[in-house]
Amino acid sequence: MATLPILLYPSPVIRKKSLPITSIDGELQRFIDNMVETMYAAPGMGLAAPQVGILQRVIVLDPSDDRTSHRPTVLINPVLVSGEGQIVDEEGCLCIPDLNEPVSRFKQVIVKGYDRKERELVLEGADLLARILQHEIDHLDGILFIDHLSTAKRLLLKQRLRKVAKDGT
Q: Classify each residue of 9-35 as buried b or exposed e, where b means 16 or more C-beta atoms within 10 Å of its C-beta.
A: beeeebeeebeebeebeeebeebbbbb
How far apart are alpha carbons 151 and 123 in whole angstroms? 32
Pairing status of strand 58-61 against strand 120-126? unpaired
How far apart are alpha carbons 54 and 71 in whole angstroms? 23
Question: Looking at the annotation, which residues are catalytic?
Answer: 136
In contact, 58 and 24? CB cutoff 8 Å: no
